[in-house]
Amino acid sequence: MTTTEAHVRLTAPAAPSAVPAHRPLAVPAVRLTGGFLAAWQERNAEATIPHCIAQLEASGVLDNFRRLVGESRAEHRGPVFADSDLYKVIEAVAWEIARSGTRAFDGWLDEVVALVARVQDESGYVHTWIQGVEPAKRFAELEWTHEMYVAGHLIQAAVALARSTGRVDLLDVARRFADLLVDRFGPGGVDAVCGHPEIETALVELYRQTAERAYLDLAAKMIDLRGHGLLPAGSLGDHYFQDHRPVRDATSATGHAVRQLYLNAGATDVHLENGDPSLLAAMDAQWDSVHDRKMYVTGAFGSRHRDEAFGDDYELPSDRAYAETCATVADLQWTWRMLLAGGAAGPARYAEAMEREVYNALAAAVDATGTRFFYANPLQLRPDRRTEENAPRERAIWYGCACCPPNIARVIAQLGGYVTSATDSALWLHQLTDAEIDLPEELGSGTVRVRTAYPEDGRVEIEVTGAVVGGAHLCVRIPRWSQGSELVGPDGAHRAGDDGYVCVPLVAGARYGLELSLAPRLTTAHHRVDSVRGCVVVERGPVVYCVEQVDLPAPLEVDDLVLLPFPVAPGGGDTLRLRCGSVASSPDLYATRAAARAVGDHEVTAIPFSRWGNRAPGAMRVWLPTAAR
Ligand SMILES: [Zn+2]
């Protein structure tokens, strides 16, 4: 058995070993201490992770392992990739340990890590569906068996556990599987890729953790091979798994959204280690495709239920949005890697996209108790919408395909790692949230304290304490919607530069203050987004608002609302007050008629999209039609 020494000591997801444009900080070095994100991390630890652990039992995922070593008589349950649910929950626990130092999951970890090790066969292979249901299919139908996808999640869990706790028992299991993959599919071996990208980013992380070059080489080979028709396309078509065109030529996001975005994370990881400008150029084009033409205003991705896929440019229907939670998680991971890589869009755009995703699509995917989840995240729920598989009217406690809930758990536990980064002479504050940040060694041994109730309140105070090296700077992102805001410090007031950051001296004892404008604003979509033409979204700071039927006075209905031309006013707490009428129109489906006219004038409450569906079930919409009175 391979015994592994930790190579990369940084306790963070995506910890490049080559020097990136921006360096991540360790998860324990960025403590979220108050406000929305910190409360979410607490809920994740206290409710979501234990709920996921319970569901691993209830859904049969753990029995799928036990039955292979004579510890359960149950039949195999769940999809071919069900093992990945366990690995993602282990990863969530690992980052939670890194964040909070909890020991609450130690016993569970001992049990499940030992179980996975017992199930692993002599060759290093572990995949309970193949081993227990269809052994003859081992590596025989890679377009759908998800064997390498599952291995990827095993590797990510093992790397996270090694970085957060130093324990390498799961890493030894992961390496044995990875070694098998290298032997079979590495340079000189069989040319193959997995139907569901994921192994690529995981292998790069395994290389970072172990310094074993073969893992990076295999990841690079798989990135090079995709797009050469190695996967039998069948009825899904080769776009489905991004096998239609080589990665360096595929400049438009297409096919299954989660697959595209995990693939992009892997390609960016390979660039981060190999310094491959052709890969970064392709990823720059992909990033623009995804975020300039295929992203929902909530930070969600994937317009089509069929194939869980990206649509055409500007094809962004609200009611039929698929917008899988995992796609937002995948984009967070990829976009963070683009920031580290110094991609062309620049750190401010990357950080802004991540902020949009976290506060809206991702936050709406989990309920107020932390135990119910959306898989699809539409921007409009019509009153007669029927529940569909993976797209229920209300959040569910789990899914037959349970990819999303554990994905939320793992990304929320690692959220601190996405708040800030470092360059040689600066600490970059990308997300404004109440936090205590230990400076990385190269900048000193001090602490940056951020105090704020953002995004509920726009006031931000930053205080630097302890030792800081000479000449260091603090660069704070000023959101685009608050560009006039000034960072006021001992040497006066400073505005953001063209890059969206205001950079000031990082000196011990310095205090800075910032007042962001949180005035509600009305946002329209690009004229090619036909589905919401004539509509606006109400936004306040990074938060997208929606209107729910439960808040409407009778006889108003969500689907008849028209936003009247009056200023949006604060409501109670984080709510807003809108003035709305109803559309007055003939009931004919098609008719020759004048432009819609609004009747009535009602005060209507709008709530953050992230909180919808937490009260009575009913209709909801984000985009509101406007009409002249
Ligand atoms: Zn999912």
Report CA 341 to chain centroid distance, whole Å.
Answer: 18
What are 581-593's pLDDT values in tens digits?
A: 998 878 899 988 7
What are 434-480's pLDDT values in tens digits?
A: 999 999 999 999 999 999 999 999 999 999 999 999 999 999 999 99
CA–CA separation, 69 vs 625, rounded Å? 59
Residue of 87, 178, 188 whose CA lies nearest to 124: 178
Q: Is the pTM of this model over 0.85?
A: yes
Task: pLDDT band for 594, please (50, 70, 90 cuts).
Answer: confident
Provide the pairing of β-strand 473-477 with 426-429: parallel
Task: pLDDT band for 214, please (50, 70, 90 cuts).
Answer: very high
- pLDDT over 60 (residue 86): yes
Q: Which of these ranges, 8-17, 238-247, 408-417, has the smallest mean pLDDT?
A: 8-17
Task: pLDDT band for 160, please (50, 70, 90 cuts).
Answer: very high
Secondary structure, 3-state, 121-143: CCCCCCCHHHHHCCHHHCCCCCC
Predicted local distance difference test score (pLDDT) of residue 328: 98
Give all strands (DSSP E) within 26-121, no chain letters: 30-32
For ion ligand 1, residues whose CB falls within 5 Å? 324, 326, 403-404
Question: Could you tell me the distance, in angstroms and rounded to a whole number, from the CA of residue 329 to the centre of ligand 1?
Answer: 9
Query: What Rg do the C-alpha atoms of the chain give, in angstroms?
Result: 24
Q: Is the dihedral of CA 581, 585, 588, 589 positive or negative?
A: negative
- pLDDT over 70 (residue 216): yes
For tokens 């938060």, name the residue.
543
CA–CA separation, 323 vs 308, rounded Å? 8
403 among known catalytic residues: yes
71 among known catalytic residues: no
Predicted local distance difference test score (pLDDT) of residue 628: 57
Question: Could you tell me the distance, in angstroms and rounded to a whole number, from the CA of residue 406 to the centre of ligand 1?
Answer: 9
For tokens 């800030």, name the residue.
420
CA–CA separation, 65 vs 69, rounded Å? 7
Tokens of 417: 């790692």
Helix/strand/coil percentages in the chain, nearest 5: 40, 20, 45
Question: Could you tell me the distance, in angstroms and rounded to a whole number, from the CA of residue 375 to the centre of ligand 1?
Answer: 6
- pLDDT over 90 (residue 595): no
Question: Could you tell me the distance, in angstroms and rounded to a whole number, from the CA of residue 217 to the centre of ligand 1?
Answer: 28
Q: Which long-range contacts (CB under 8 A, 24 or more apart) does 287-292 make?
A: 287/334, 287/335, 287/338, 287/343, 287/344, 287/345, 288/345, 289/251, 289/252, 289/253, 289/313, 290/253, 290/260, 290/261, 290/264, 290/331, 291/345, 291/349, 291/353
- pLDDT over 60 (residue 350): yes
Average pLDDT over residues 557-584: 94
Predicted local distance difference test score (pLDDT) of residue 2: 42
Tokens of 372: 């119910």
Cβ proximity of 296 and 365 under 8 Å: no
Task: pLDDT band for 8, please (50, 70, 90 cuts).
Answer: low
Contacts of 14 (CB under 8 A, 6+ apart): 24, 205, 269, 272, 333, 336, 337, 340
DSSP string, 500-517: SEEEEE--TT-EEEEE--
Question: Could you tell me the distance, in angstroms and rounded to a whole number, from the CA of residue 53 to the centre of ligand 1?
Answer: 17
Question: Could you tell me the distance, in angstroms and rounded to a whole number, from the CA of residue 402 to the centre of ligand 1?
Answer: 7
The catalytically annotated residue of 52, 194, 326, 403 is 403
CA–CA separation, 368 vs 327, rounded Å? 21
Contacts of 99 (CB under 8 A, 6+ apart): 27, 28, 31, 41, 45, 413, 414, 416
Question: Could you tell me the distance, in angstroms and rounded to a whole number, from the CA of residue 327 to the centre of ligand 1?
Answer: 7
User: Dihedral (C-alpha) 326, 39, 338, 239: value to the nearest 10 degrees?
Assistant: 10
Question: Could you tell me the distance, in angstroms and rounded to a whole number, from the CA of residue 412 to the centre of ligand 1?
Answer: 15
Question: Could you tell me the distance, in angstroms and rounded to a whole number, from the CA of residue 262 to the centre of ligand 1?
Answer: 12
CA–CA separation, 26 vs 12, rounded Å? 5
- pLDDT over 80 (residue 629): no
For tokens 């302890």, name the residue.
466
CA–CA separation, 546 vs 391, rounded Å? 19
The catalytically annotated residue of 91, 212, 308, 355 is 308
